Amino acid sequence: MPNTQELQDLVFQVRRDILRMVHKVSSGHPGGSLGCTEFLVTLYNEIMDLKDGFDMDGIGEDLFFLSNGHISPVFYSVLARRGYFPVEELNTFRLIDSRLQGHPTTHEGLPGVRVASGSLGQGMSVAIGAALAKKLNGDDHLVFSLHGDGELQEGQNWEAIMYAAGNKVDNLIATVDRNGQQIDGPTEKVLPLGDVSEKFKVFGWDVLEIENGNDLEQVIAGLNEAKSRTGKGKPVCVVMTTEMGNGVDFMMHTHAWHGKAPSDEQLATALAQNPETLGDY
Amino acid sequence: MTKYTDQGKQDTRSGYGAGMTELGRTNPNVVALCADLVGSLKIETFIEESPERFFQTGIAEANMMGIAAGLTIGGKIPFASTFANFATGRVYDQIRQSIAYSDKNVKICASHAGLTLGEDGATHQILEDIGLMKMLPGMTVINPCDFNQTKAATIAIAEHHGPVYLRFGRPKVANFTPVDQKFEIGKAVMLSEGTDVTIIATGHLVWEALIAAESLENQGISAEVINIHTIKPLDEEAILASVKKTGCVVTAEEHNYLGGLGESVSGVLSSHYPAPQEFVATKDTFGESGTPEQLMEKYGLNNKAIEAAVLKVLKRK
């Protein structure tokens, strides 16, 4: 049984990291980061089989690709807290000469990042390629990816979705963060996505849903279920409903905090809602 | 001048196919991808001999570039191939972010570049691809001149770590460089030494430059002919050494004069040794339907155009 208390402590701490990172530089994307905190904390600390240290090829371990690169704050915090680089380095987020670029990149050699992302819609293709390499190498580890729901408006995703099913890329688990929001407003208003699960199903994927992606136990159960469905001839999609800005009351139920940093006062309010559990960086 | 013999016309894309066949047999990390143009890219033998190392992506080039980037994670050396138009302009951002900026060891292999694609017309005749690719930091850009050199380049880029754009074409053209030549990325090839003018050519225009040089020789003009198969990184040393000797230059390429080889040469000369230059290239225009020969004639990309450019540049010395 997973220790959900430890994971919950990590979730609180990662939320604090996210808020402090974007506050310091008055830029970045807290909303989607906060919404995906339970997911990434669970993935890196409960689900993925990871080696110590980092090498680009990642042979003999599970891999993760963040396609919606703008939620870099949660990615960086989870990587640092997992030991990929010193947590103090979170202090350099978006600053000049930093390895923690606004959107993740391999260019500065940040351990844990295997491809640049930020220009949306490209991550699933890369994840498929990495999954195919694993098959060629006889490596039975898995490839995970995360995609924003608004990001599915990029056509390349549908090329990739068609390819993965048609070629039985069944060592891939692609999760869609269904928070229903994008920069210009609700996804169903900007460009309706409709029933995301049905869309993946008719393309030939095995689909499961996590009703509340901000409930740790649901995320753990959902991702374990997803793992159990790999290796059966179909790529696996997890459609995970989350609340953008989760954990900070005034950032929830709105798309306003997609790409906006809190003021000093707002930061204090937000931090008060997320206790310091493992020590701030 | 040094004489070259056409060993029999062949298409450069078949040189790519021959190179892939050899890589399939010699380098187990090489994998191939194609977006529904296997026959045009001449990679049937590779696929037949190594089916597990071939990925057919269908008509989905953006996905192909992303999959190629992902395949490098795990040590594969992907050769992603399609027509030059779909291998560059159509997928520029995928190449930029997932390959170039991500430092991925992907080989983008592009056939049917330029006007010599012929009858299909301007929708498919990309004349901007060299510019697009050379502007990407870290991208190596190669445009070999004939079958033998394309085969050699294909094999050589597998040994080079980093993204490469390899450009070749559709028509059967003279095959005159040595069989089993050693291909050195970034190293200009001196084809014929001369003293009056330097002709720097790439791709299909190299053979045309040799024909022009022969005609010029008959008129008492000594032309030095250099094959620049690697546009980036550019062999600045070879270019400067030649132009310092001859005092003027004609560049020749099957590409827009904006963004092409000629522009790169201009950059080198203006920084180090300003000299008169004439451009044999398309003049900021799209192509059209026609036979390759008709198009190269109409758009001024053959030996006659090179010869005229030489006579013009000599007057500016």
Which CATH number do you get for residue B311? 3.40.50.920
In a domain? residue B297: yes
The size of chain A, in residues, is: 281
| pLDDT averaged per 10 residues in sequence order, chain B, 317 residues | 96 98 98 97 98 98 98 98 98 98 98 97 97 98 98 98 98 96 97 98 98 98 98 98 98 98 98 98 98 98 98 97
In a domain? residue B182: no
How crowded is residue A232: how many other Cβ atoms within 10 Å of its Cβ? Answer: 10
> Would the ipTM clear 0.90, i.e. be above it?
yes
**Rounded CA separation B189/B54 (Å):** 33
**Co-location of B38 and B167 in the same domain:** yes
Query: What average pLDDT does the segment A246-250 reach?
Result: 97
Strand partners, B11: B172
Query: What average pLDDT does the segment A70-96 reach?
Result: 98
Q: Per the CB < 8 Å rule, is A133 touching B75?
A: yes
**Rounded CA separation B43/A26 (Å):** 52
Going by C-alpha positions, the residue among A139, A207, A129, A197 that lies closest to residue A173 is A207
Burial class (CB in 10 A: 0-12, 13-18, 19+), A273: middle
**Co-location of B200 and B131 in the same domain:** no
Tokens of A218: 């649901």
In a domain? residue B181: no
> In this complex, is the C-beta atom of B138 within 8 Å of any C-beta atom belonging to chain A?
no
- Domain spans of chain A? 4-272
| Res B280: pLDDT | 98
Chain B positions touching A122 (Cβ under 8 A) are 62, 66, 93-94, 97-98
In a domain? residue B178: no
**Co-location of B162 and B207 in the same domain:** no
Containing domain of residue B197, as a range? 189-315
In a domain? residue B2: no
**Rounded CA separation A148/A259 (Å):** 14
Number of independent structural domains in chain B: 2
In a domain? residue B3: no
Say yes or no to pLDDT of A172 above 90.
Answer: yes
Q: Per the CB < 8 Å rule, is B72 touching A160?
A: no
> In this complex, is the C-beta atom of B163 within 8 Å of any C-beta atom belonging to chain A?
no
In a domain? residue B238: yes
| Res A210: pLDDT | 98
**Rounded CA separation B25/B5 (Å):** 30
- Give the pairing type, strands A236-241 and B249-256: unpaired
**Co-location of B262 and B214 in the same domain:** yes
**Co-location of B213 and B300 in the same domain:** yes
**Co-location of B19 and B128 in the same domain:** yes
Which residue, B173, B207, B237, sits at the end of a domain?
B173
CATH of the domain at B48: 3.40.50.970
**Co-location of B196 and B303 in the same domain:** yes
The size of chain B, in residues, is: 317
**Co-location of B21 and B104 in the same domain:** yes
Strand partners, B119: none
**Co-location of B209 and B168 in the same domain:** no
In a domain? residue B261: yes
**Rounded CA separation A206/A1 (Å):** 25
Digit-coded pLDDT (tens) for B156-183: 999 999 999 999 999 999 999 999 899 9
- In three-state secondary structure terms, A174 is strand
**Co-location of B150 and B249 in the same domain:** no
Q: Name the closest residue on chain A to residue B65, using Cα atoms.
A: A125
Cα distance from B51 to chain A (closest Cα, Å)? 12
CATH class belonging to A4-272:
alpha beta
B187: Cα separation from own chain's centroid: 14
**Co-location of B155 and B230 in the same domain:** no
**Residue A3's pLDDT band (cuts 50, 70, 90):** confident
**Co-location of B282 and B200 in the same domain:** yes
Average per-residue pLDDT for chain A: 97
Say yes or no to pLDDT of A1 above 70.
Answer: no
- Give the pairing type, strands B164-167 and B140-142: parallel
Tokens of A212: 């509340």
Say yes or no to pLDDT of A2 above 80.
Answer: no
